[in-house]
Structure 1
Amino acid sequence: MTLYRQLLVTMLLLFIMLFVTAYSVQFSSTRNYLAQQQETTVINTATSLGLALTPYLETSDNLGAESVINAVFDGGFYRKIQLELLAANKDITRENVIPPQNVPDWFINLGLFDSVSYDAVLTSGWLQLGKLTIEGHPGQAYYQLWQGMSQLATWFVLCFVVAWGLLVLALRYFLKPLHDIELQAHEIERQRFGHVISLPNTRELREVVKAINSMSGQLEVQFKEQADEAERLRHRAFSDPTSGLGNRAFFVSQSQSWISDGTGGAVLLIAVDILEKLDQEEGFTARDQMIKAIANDLQKLCQRFSDFALSRLSAREFALLVPESDIERLSLLGEEINRQIAEQVIDPVNVPNISVIGIAVIQDKDESSQLLTRADHALNKARMEEAGAVVIEHSKREHQLGRLAWKKLIETALTNDLFELSSQAVCDIHGTLLHEEVYMAIRNGNTVYGAGSFLPMVEQFKLGERLDLHIIERTLNKLVASPSVYLAVNLTQHSCEQAGFWHQLDLLLAQYPNVCSRLLLELPEKVFVFHKNALMVPLASLNVAWGIDHFGRHFDLLTQLSDLSPHYVKLDHSFTSNVAKADYDDAFLAAVCRSAHSMGAVTIATRVETEPQLEVLKTLYVDAYQGFVSPPQKWV
């Protein structure tokens, strides 16, 4: 129970106790007073009535005596008046058997008032004329007690309600600083800093608020320092200072990760030969300005792809990795890049060989060195033709499909549920199972297509929303059948960018309320680079845990993690695949993990294949891992 409620309940209970005490005292006092008043009235009436009846009894005027008794009895305050005439051996009796009016029966049944009666012997000298008996009626006493106590209770209840309202307002006002401190504590817990609480007037709370504000500011500074440290290490290890793009080391690591994921695509080597001439004629400043302009154009162009890697490999060469393997579309892409670069030259007509591009399509069982070698060979052929031509080296893959065939296959798989699902364990650094990640493939007859081969087509044809909802529904059914399992599902970029997808997801999750706590969603890192603000609301309202996949490919996200508050981040394979090598520089990976920890996110290393890798990762602030040390298991 909150302090606010504790104080409110305590004060209200004290008020009730005071009311009950005062009411009890007043009730008892009023009851005693009315009982005493009734007894006094009966005695006084008996005395006065006896004096009035004596003259009539002395003359044996029974009719006159009866008239006097009737006059007194009609006042209604007596239950019984009886006069025994001793000389005539008869009596005159009047009784009132009507119960008290306007008083509840249960109140009368409490028996609050005893019967009050008084006997008097009427005499004349030494002669006894008669015996007078008067019994009081408690109806008036009950009526007066009921009316008085009802009014008192009404006023007490009214005062209680008013006091309750005033207490609520007063406590909210006085405890507002504590509420602000509570909200600030939750913000700090979610690694959100910078909000300053206004200082209250209460001295004790004022000091607490000062301490909270100071702590929040210090934590914000510490996180910024960690993020800045990671950024500096990133620039030192993976960034080209002139263009702001990745360098050769970054591109090699990304291509290794790309190939190991099984994602199809191609490498484009872009040689801007005009840069050498520009350096000689106008100096390095003009050359650097053109490099920055080309880098900016290439970055804008790459935003059309679901994923990409862009780097500057040397003084005049850029490299681009895209999820596209169609020869015609790659040719058009190369021509578009050449046109954009040519637009940076003042007179491109008089300048031959402004840029040439060589393209190599990723093949099965490729390695990054082989891929770059083929792309470099294609680039040399393009340069030899002296026409800025784009040359593509491509050998037809087995089971390679065209774009329209891919679309038909994916739609057929969605309609007929041709997906084969499996899952791979994610364990903490000590080997305890945390959850399992869901993997999917399409089986078409005897041919199985891995996710990496058809996901680029899913993005191109905007089928991600249907695919993700289908896989999530199958996963939820698996969770229903397996009560102890936790499963993580990867979302496509297209789904994450659609407001309708999040609405459909909410409707789907509402059908499985008992298993949602065991479902996890993984969003690709790239969607946060361009759509972070649009994702904040649906993720905040989501009743399932979520994480960021391929974390670290886009370094700008490091300083924005506090706004996102993911439950975990999966480090990109390019940062963990070479950790066991003797010359590996682990400073950047450690800095990324520390930044994630400071934001409350669990760090998970991916594609861990050997025990030596795992041993090194334990020293680099990594919390968990997954990889082929625990191969995926097919669902039955």
Structure 2
Amino acid sequence: MTLFKEITLAMSVLVVALLAMTMFSNYRTNVRFIEDQLYTSARNTASSLGLAISKASNGEDVAMAETMINAVFDSGLYEAIIYRNVDGEVLYERHTPLTLDTVPEWFAHSIALPPAAATVPVGKEWMLVGQLQIEGHRGQAYTQMWDAFKEVIASFIILSVMAMAGIFFMLKVVLRSLEAVREQAEAVSGNRFIIQDSLPRTKEIRDVVKAINTLVYKVKEVYKQEADAVARYNTLLYEDRQTHLKNRDFFMMKLGSLVSGEDRFSSGYVAAFQLCDPDKVKHEEGGYVLQKVLSFISDIARGIVNGVEEGVACRVREFDVMLIIPSLEESEITGLLTSAAESCRGAGYCVTIAATPYRAGEAASELLSHLDYALMQAEAERGTAPFLYRAKHDNVPTWGHDAWRKHLRNAMKLDHFVAFYQPVVSRNGLTVQQELLLRLELEGSLLNAGAFIPVVGHLELQEELDRYVLDKVGETLHASEIAVNVSGNFIAHSATMGWLAERKSSWETNKLALSFEVSNSMVMAEPETAATFSAFVQKQGWRFGIDHFTVESEKELTSLQRIKPSYLKIDAVYLLSLVGSEGKREAALFTIARLIDIELIATGVDSEETADRLHQLGIDLLQGFWIGEPAKGAA
């Protein structure tokens, strides 16, 4: 029970008790007054009637007494009038039964008024000749008391309601600031930091608000300081100071992370922009022109990757910029690079542009060899056109868009997609989550997501495929949580939340624990959309995770407060390099995670040594081929 309800109840009981006691006291006083009134009336009437009888006939004319008694009794104010002689014999009497038509029987029994009888002597001069006894009629008293009782009850109810209403509004005013304190505390638990500027008047509550404000301020400052520390360390570690692109270390880490995975980002293209004859430009035109050309190339590269999910541009050598461009088709990458080459020629710069595809499981050394070959071929053209190295992938069909669209839709209709699951394992060896990895059964072979997802994106079938996958997952029982990667189109579509709400009951029947994962680049591109979707799925009892999380700037860390993900998946190599060997950096990263209640899951764990280092850092949840390879069907 809330404090407000407890105080309201206590004060209401107290007020009701006081009113009840007051009303009862007044009521008992009224009862005694009526009893006294009945007796007084009977005594006065008896005295008057007895005197009249004694004067009229010296008390000996019974007939005259009867006449006088009848006249008084017929007034209906008395229950009985009895006239006796000196020996106690009844000379004449009149009685009327006590009937209570308008008064409840229970009320009459609870009051139980005694007979109000008064007896006076009837004398002849100084001689006693008889006695006259009169009993007041209690029926009118009961009726009068019943009416008074109803008035008392009505007054009691009205006063009680008024008192409780007054208590309610009084407490609302007094405890209004406590509601703000509650909201402030809930905001802190929800990873939001609210400072109350308006302090309550009540001293005790004002002191509580001041203490909470101080606490929230300190937590906010700690979060900001730790976020700044991680962002600065990341900048020093992975950012090229001159161009503000990522550096070679980040390029190798990111490329290794992508090719070691098995999702829609595990295939794509690596492109290179290389300045022709940089030494000649430097000596003939000067270092200023050289830096200007480098900035121009960097801007073009940055513009290309900004529109590509999980794309990144890196300065790997002094005059070489490389791009990782996941999930694009050959026609799309050709268009981007051709446009870049035309921009360079238009600006009067000679830039060699080449690209080569990458796919899951490919060695970085082999990939870079292909890129070097492509650069040599492009160099022969002196920057006139980009060169695209075409690696032969025997198991990937070279269909046109219409054929791909037909085969993909038939695969969904005929259920030719196969679900593989890769476990996320805790320190004690328990599988806490399984990430769904989709493969396509096509012409006798299985294509991983990197081979067909770029086509899905180009044909704008992402949302349709996401719904198919979720329905497929929801049809079967699973022993642990299932993580499903969904596209930006899926979470941004206005009908998605309604579609998920319709399936919630059936999924709960199968006891499906579900988690939705979205790539970090998509989240950073549409933070409000991600925040809305995250709030919705967590309200439904599911979880929301960010995959391929990296720290580009402080923006990623501050956005986490608004998005409130359940967990982050971070590449093990990147995580270890970001944490480093300095305890301060370690504290900064994990302090942020603890402050906003986010789990960290290390992905791409490829060895026992890596797992041990992560466990030493406090990372309990690991995923990777060394932890467990993708397997068909969930355990």
Give yes or no for the alignment of 1:295 onto 2:298: yes
Bigger mean CA deviation after superposition, 41-50 or 66-75 = 66-75
Percent identical: 25
Q: Is the 8 A contact 2:351 2:382 kept in 1?
A: no
1:379, CA displacement in angstroms? Answer: 1.1
Per the alignment, residue 373 of structure 1 pairs with 369
1:111, CA displacement in angstroms? Answer: 4.1
Q: 1:123 to 1:224 in 2, by over 3 A?
A: same
Per the alignment, residue 392 of structure 1 pairs with 388
Deviations for 1:170-197, whole angstroms, at most 9, x for unmatched residues? Answer: 3233223333333222222233236344
**Distance of 1:48 and 1:536 partners within structure 2:** 95
**Distance of 1:270 and 1:606 partners within structure 2:** 30
Equivalent positions of 1:478-557 (< 5 A) are 478=476, 481=477, 485-509=480-504, 512=507, 518-542=513-537, 543=539, 544-552=542-550, 554-555=552-553, 556-557=555-556
- TM-score normalized by structure 2? 0.87
* Secondary structure in structure 1 of the residue aligned to 2:354: strand
Q: 1:5 to 1:433 in 2, by over 3 A?
A: farther
Bigger mean CA deviation after superposition, 318-327 or 219-228 = 318-327
1:254, CA displacement in angstroms? Answer: 0.9
Give yes or no for the alignment of 1:9 onto 2:6: no
Which 5+ residue runs of structure 1 have no aligned equivalent?
Answer: none
Per the alignment, residue 424 of structure 2 pairs with 426
- TM-score normalized by structure 1? 0.87
* Secondary structure in structure 2 of the residue aligned to 1:488: strand
Q: Is the 8 A contact 1:590 1:621 kept in 2?
A: no
**Distance of 1:268 and 1:93 partners within structure 2:** 125
* Secondary structure in structure 1 of the residue aligned to 2:241: coil
Bigger mean CA deviation after superposition, 219-228 or 619-628 = 619-628
Deviations for 1:353-402, whole angstroms, at most 9, x for unmatched residues? Answer: x2221111125641112112211210111111225222222233132133
**Distance of 1:584 and 1:508 partners within structure 2:** 47
Per the alignment, residue 457 of structure 2 pairs with 459
Q: 1:89 to 1:22 in 2, by over 3 A?
A: closer
* Secondary structure in structure 1 of the residue aligned to 2:199: coil
**Distance of 2:471 and 2:410 partners within structure 1:** 17
**Distance of 2:303 and 2:95 partners within structure 1:** 111
Matched AA of 1:377:
Y
Bigger mean CA deviation after superposition, 256-265 or 129-138 = 129-138
How large is the Cα RMSD of the aligned pairs?
3.4
Bigger mean CA deviation after superposition, 552-561 or 217-226 = 552-561
Q: Is the 8 A contact 2:567 2:598 kept in 1?
A: yes
Give yes or no for the alignment of 1:614 onto 2:614: no
Deviations for 1:406-452, whole angstroms, at most 9, x for unmatched residues? Answer: 43333223323333334333233343443333333333464323233
Equivalent positions of 1:164-175 (< 5 A) are 164-175=164-175
Q: Is the 8 A contact 1:269 1:376 kept in 2?
A: no
Q: 1:541 to 1:393 in 2, by over 3 A?
A: closer
* Secondary structure in structure 2 of the residue aligned to 1:178: helix
Which 5+ residue runs of structure 2 have no aligned equivalent?
Answer: none
Per the alignment, residue 571 of structure 1 pairs with 570
Q: 1:455 to 1:326 in 2, by over 3 A?
A: closer
Q: 1:175 to 1:585 in 2, by over 3 A?
A: closer
**Distance of 1:600 and 1:29 partners within structure 2:** 67
Per the alignment, residue 443 of structure 1 pairs with 441
Bigger mean CA deviation after superposition, 485-494 or 323-332 = 323-332
Q: 1:568 to 1:75 in 2, by over 3 A?
A: farther
Equivalent positions of 1:122-133 (< 5 A) are 122-124=122-124, 132-133=132-133
Q: Is the 8 A contact 1:310 1:321 kept in 2?
A: yes
**Distance of 1:574 and 1:416 partners within structure 2:** 40
* Secondary structure in structure 1 of the residue aligned to 2:317: coil
Bigger mean CA deviation after superposition, 391-400 or 204-213 = 204-213
1:334, CA displacement in angstroms? Answer: 1.3
Q: Is the 8 A contact 2:466 2:490 kept in 1?
A: yes
Equivalent positions of 1:137-216 (< 5 A) are 137-193=137-193, 195-216=195-216
**Distance of 1:202 and 1:34 partners within structure 2:** 50
Deviations for 1:274-320, whole angstroms, at most 9, x for unmatched residues? Answer: 87666556654554455445434433333443332221222222212
Q: Of 314, 336, 339, which residue of structure 1 is paired with 2:339?
A: 336
1:477, CA displacement in angstroms? Answer: 4.1
Bigger mean CA deviation after superposition, 56-65 or 247-256 = 56-65
Q: 1:553 to 1:409 in 2, by over 3 A?
A: farther
Per the alignment, residue 351 of structure 2 pairs with 355
Deviations for 1:533-561, whole angstroms, at most 9, x for unmatched residues? Answer: 23323432432222211111644412322
Per the alignment, residue 266 of structure 1 pairs with 269
Q: Is the 8 A contact 1:100 1:140 kept in 2?
A: no
**Distance of 2:207 and 2:509 partners within structure 1:** 45
Q: Is the 8 A contact 2:527 2:559 kept in 1?
A: no
Bigger mean CA deviation after superposition, 267-276 or 332-341 = 267-276
**Distance of 2:581 and 2:90 partners within structure 1:** 131
Q: 1:561 to 1:282 in 2, by over 3 A?
A: farther
Q: Is the 8 A contact 1:468 1:492 kept in 2?
A: yes
Per the alignment, residue 559 of structure 2 pairs with 560
Deviations for 1:480-503, whole angstroms, at most 9, x for unmatched residues? Answer: x45x63333222222123232233
Q: 1:154 to 1:229 in 2, by over 3 A?
A: same
Q: Is the 8 A contact 2:58 2:125 kept in 1?
A: no
* Secondary structure in structure 1 of the residue aligned to 2:200: coil
Q: Of 319, 324, 346, which residue of structure 1 is paired with 2:322?
A: 319
* Secondary structure in structure 1 of the residue aligned to 2:422: strand
**Distance of 2:373 and 2:223 partners within structure 1:** 46
Q: Is the 8 A contact 1:248 1:312 kept in 2?
A: yes
Q: 1:74 to 1:388 in 2, by over 3 A?
A: farther
1:237, CA displacement in angstroms? Answer: 1.6
Matched AA of 1:360:
T
Matched AA of 2:518:
L
1:335, CA displacement in angstroms? Answer: 0.5
Per the alignment, residue 414 of structure 1 pairs with 412
* Secondary structure in structure 2 of the residue aligned to 1:438: strand
1:575, CA displacement in angstroms? Answer: 1.6
**Distance of 2:550 and 2:164 partners within structure 1:** 55
Equivalent positions of 1:465-480 (< 5 A) are 465-478=463-476
Q: Is the 8 A contact 2:196 2:209 kept in 1?
A: no
1:19, CA displacement in angstroms? Answer: 1.8
Bigger mean CA deviation after superposition, 89-98 or 5-14 = 89-98
Equivalent positions of 1:81-100 (< 5 A) are 81-83=81-83, 91-100=92-101
* Secondary structure in structure 2 of the residue aligned to 1:80: strand
**Distance of 2:435 and 2:211 partners within structure 1:** 43
Q: Is the 8 A contact 1:276 1:316 kept in 2?
A: no
